[in-house]
Amino acid sequence: MTQPSAETWHAALDRLQRSGVPHVLASQITSAGSTPREPGARMVITQEAVYDTLGGGTFEWQTIHAARDFLQQGRAGFHLEAFSLGGRSGQCCGGYVNVLLEVFPGAATNIALFGAGMSDERS
């Protein structure tokens, strides 16, 4: 599994948005029962890195895997994922979590420079 970076999710989001790197903002929007984090917890995921955490374990691995699949497929937009944190997931929490994945496909940076011609200094 990818180790989380020391950079916070909001710093990474700002940097990735500015640089046009494809990324996913994962936000825990609801929870029921026992869960590792509360609604509002966020993490940012790229193909190579993870920034912050939603609580670790299988649940987080599944979130990262889903985010990277969306990135690879170029499926920009919003995707709601539901996770049960008991039995089959291998998590001991036993609760339920909904995570919103906001997929940003990135963009190439284009620069257009106007008015860089020579000046005419006639008197």
pLDDT tens, 14-29?
999 999 999 999 999 9
What percent of the chain is helix, strand and coil (3-state, nearest 5)?
25, 30, 45
- Which is more confident, 81 or 109? 81
pLDDT tier at 44, thresholds 50, 70, 90: very high
16 within 8 A of 25, measured Cβ to Cβ:
no
pLDDT the model gives residue 94: 77
The amino acid at 20: G
pTM: 0.79
Nearest partner of 25 among 37, 43, 40, judged by Cα: 43
Q: Is 72 helix (H, G, I), strand (E, B) or coil?
A: helix
